[in-house]
Structure 1
């Protein structure tokens, strides 16, 4: 289908994606999603109008075209969340085109995304987070592997790291100081404090680990000495949450959610939490305020002396 797209449209898409990488630091996965979403839109227009969509036809998009595209997505089984994401990518592309080509983007920018229920982060309680770390450590047959798994999960909860960020650490990062320099999504760097308990957990793992700490090698090793597969951490946390009777939402990423939610509940500043998590937008971090409000309402409902 993409063969029907004119070279000019393909070039414009490539230049827009380059701008997203350079100016917004979008990650490779985000760039791939953007490319697919906008290509899907252009292919739809090609079939809808039975002609290749160059820059001139793209400028003639109508409100009817937008409705037809979104209707086709829904008929194809796309969820409201997915349609909203695709529409957001197309709008961003058209804003960029409008600035450079003088397009009138009103038909695209005025298209309304379908409403959907935003998923709130599902953190663990403080006791459950501690129990998760302790249970993960006792599951492995080899003590060094148990210490390794506990150290990784401790970093997720104690520093708010993504699992990819924790497993991306190399021996060059050790020994930890009071803070860690983390390379996050889109190549963005941030500094996160390291709690003594997290430092001790990693120290215990490295003392037991049969493989040496090497500057360019992964800090967290698999059983054969290679990079640790994130699926193994997902598996041990799954086993631990079943043993503890925790919900299916008790995943490695939930430890990061718990880090943010517990900081907020203790009076942490939202902007500071945004920096610690490496969120590009404050609106992403604000989801944790909704979680905290939900918790407060549950406490209210459970404890208020109703008449």
Structure 2
């Protein structure tokens, strides 16, 4: 075994174990090719092990297991394996946690801005010491929120509170440090831009949902409701609407939960005029909302559906 790299030595020593794992993956993905897996291990995993430091056995085990999990999903070509060399030091420090967390996040970001998130993660990796994998994962969660995973909003805000202002800025995609006050403003207004300096106004902020024939979730136009500070759309089934400045998601739920109805600070007037009843946002004319079929509000946000669309339109008082 002279002349072999530490990675190759581990592959040789654990050949039977890895072959058994391959057979399991092949059972779950019949199209899996031994040649493809071997090429993947040598070209995309080996360099990470070489650069990671730490225990090569533990690092190799973790990355081989991740590779087989990806292979079962027919995802050996995932761009996650392209970013891992830049995060090699973090992989060496936490071989089980870091690669798995990056891969799992990428699965959720597949319908959002995955490429943008991976670029941001690479940038964060250059700013954070490899001995601090928890900090990388926290910053990565904030970046995943910013790149489209609106469902991470609450946990991302908590994670951001533990980061330095300059790391918050990178994760949130702004050029100046994000202070505690600016982070509090983001927490208070789901539609606010980080470090926003603009005037408060009523704005159309997001459209969520589409007809199933166009790749959406709604077979018929939904009815929107606000319950307990959360948003729901009811069509053939009930969906929770999770939406903010960075993204949106429709999550199937058994039905409307108990809770008080929303208390809106905006109102929809005839002709599609949205008015800030509290005053500072003024008004916004949106003629498409003249045909409203349901209206729900909570705080400074109004959600509206119309007779001619399968989307829920969000209008808000924001910067």
**TM-score, structure 1 normalization:** 0.27
Higher helix share: 1
The normalised TM-score by structure 2 is: 0.26
Q: Which has the bigger relative contact order, CA under 8 A and spacing at least 6?
A: 1
Q: Which structure is higher in strand share?
A: 2
